[in-house]
A and B are shown apart, each in its own frame.
Chain A
């Protein structure tokens, strides 16, 4: 059966080590995200700076994953589920790298925001949203390790909540900007942060889809649930 070990045990070790890299990378991304959200809320410049610098490590791991996968394909010629694992790992690594970039962007913007008049309630909402997304990311990676298609499907469904939170925040920021034009800069930054967190959620969904492909051999067919578009032009890029 496919959960049995390979006859060539070095193959197993290679596959495990590349998946371990993904988990390590996922951990770093989750921490970066939560640290960035905390730095935003507490206006902690040092923490934001650490998040910004930490992104280099995430990029390095992605590079390592790509190298490892290329090596695996060249040397082991993976087939069937092994092939799908390697392909998923590469895609997930690329997703996580994007998530890392968003966390870094969040940290950068939180440093800028620290110099401006705070928008009441915004930091808290963003932090809750970030928390939710973190959870999605964590579940998606757990599903990956356990090859749990049901959990992955759950992640896909729960992305809807994130979208709804984003939509709510969007309206909130719009209201603040309409109230006072001086809020526009801050709100624009906050909106980008919200958008970025929402994008992290999309990446978590993408990871979940890879997990479904990995365990069933087919990409999930039907379109995933989407919150209604806020305004024209604000829909999917």
Chain B
């Protein structure tokens, strides 16, 4: 086995136990147990409506914004239950950043997009520090070279791939520990997708990355561990290489080989 891909030694960053999610009367997610490892890319795959995005949104409590959503079970980030009543979801989301399906930069300048998070969380004491944070994050997002001469031009004027990398820069600007990505490349062309995937692979050195994707090839390319969701169940979770060459569960097999399952 490729040493770089061997992540079995990494510790668990997020431990989810017996997680149930309901939307009103609809039991959307059933008995999910997952350990998300630190400094690892974990991919969630599965057919539409299988609950993978729902579970992703549980990890930073984005489901709180949906009034009918109800989450049971325990999700622990570094051993702390994120659904504890004492936890402020706003604080949690600074620790668990999120990148969305459609690139959604704020209709502000490139600089302001990245600076927004540090500003509201008070992560920079003065303008110089803020400049530095912006530069670092844009460099980490592999966007600095392309935008350094036009930081004040609107972020919405960038190409789709650049916008998505800007969103990643914005997400990592709050120094999160976990980065959630909800189908980050579904609106991008293959070249932009490759750039974002390369970026994800680099981010693995500092963050625990969880990515929901419809593209099995993408899951195979970027992740070290893969979880397959089906009809609200976590069917199989394991090493990506194993899931894609020799899945244990026949439902996983049917799904990844493109059979009716």
Indicate whether A and B are direct neighbours in the complex (CB within 8 Å). Answer: yes
* Chain A interface residues (CB < 8 Å from chain B): 1-2, 4-8, 11, 77-84, 217-218
B259-A79 in contact (CB<8A)? no
* Chain B interface residues (CB < 8 Å from chain A): 216-217, 220, 244-247, 250, 252-254, 256-261
The dominant DSSP class at the B interface is helix
A78 to B254, CA, bound (A): 12
Q: What residues on B are CB-neighbors of A77 within 8 Å?
A: 217
- Shortest distance from the beta carbon of B43 to any chain A beta carbon, whole Å: 13
Q: What residues on A are CB-neighbors of B220 within 8 Å?
A: 79
Q: What residues on B are CB-neighbors of A79 within 8 Å?
A: 216, 220, 244-245, 256-258
* A80 CB contact (under 8 Å) in B217, B244, B260: B244
B245-A11 in contact (CB<8A)? no
Q: List 14 A-B pairs, Cβ < 8 Å.
A: A1-B253, A2-B250, A6-B258, A7-B258, A7-B259, A7-B260, A11-B258, A79-B216, A79-B257, A79-B258, A80-B246, A80-B253, A80-B257, A81-B257
Given contacts A7-B260, A77-B217, contact A2 B245 (CB under 8 A): no
- Shortest distance from the beta carbon of B197 to any chain A beta carbon, whole Å: 16
Given contacts A77-B217, A79-B216, A81-B253, contact A5 B259 (CB under 8 A): yes
* 15 more CB-based (< 8 A) A-B contacts, given A80-B252, A80-B257: A1-B253, A2-B250, A2-B254, A5-B260, A7-B258, A7-B259, A7-B260, A77-B217, A79-B220, A79-B245, A80-B247, A80-B253, A83-B244, A84-B246, A217-B245
- Shortest distance from the beta carbon of B27 to any chain A beta carbon, whole Å: 25
A4-B260 in contact (CB<8A)? yes
A217 to B254, CA, bound (A): 15
Q: What residues on A are CB-neighbors of B254 within 8 Å?
A: 1-2, 4
- Shortest distance from the beta carbon of A83 to any chain B beta carbon, whole Å: 6
Q: What residues on A are CB-neighbors of B259 within 8 Å?
A: 1-2, 4-7
- Shortest distance from the beta carbon of A87 to any chain B beta carbon, whole Å: 9
A11 to B260, CA, bound (A): 13
B216-A218 in contact (CB<8A)? no
A1 to B250, CA, bound (A): 6
* Chain A to chain B: the 6 pairs with minimum beta-carbon distance, closest first: A217-B246, A79-B256, A80-B257, A2-B253, A4-B259, A82-B257
Q: What residues on A are CB-neighbors of B253 within 8 Å?
A: 1-2, 80-81
Q: What residues on B are CB-neighbors of A11 within 8 Å?
A: 258
Q: Which residue, of A6, A79, A84, A217, has the highest number of chain B Cβ atoms within 10 A?
A: A79
Q: Which residue, of B217, B256, B257, has the highest number of chain A Cβ atoms within 10 A?
A: B257
- Shortest distance from the beta carbon of B248 to any chain A beta carbon, whole Å: 9
A7 to B255, CA, bound (A): 10
Q: Which residue, of A5, A6, A80, has the highest number of chain B Cβ atoms within 10 A?
A: A80
Q: Which residue, of B247, B250, B254, has the highest number of chain A Cβ atoms within 10 A?
A: B254
A7 to B259, CA, bound (A): 5
Closest B residue by C-beta to A83: B245
Q: Which residue, of B244, B256, B259, B261, has the highest number of chain A Cβ atoms within 10 A?
A: B259
A5 to B258, CA, bound (A): 9
Closest B residue by C-beta to A78: B257
A83 to B243, CA, bound (A): 12
Q: What residues on A are CB-neighbors of B245 within 8 Å?
A: 79-80, 83-84, 217
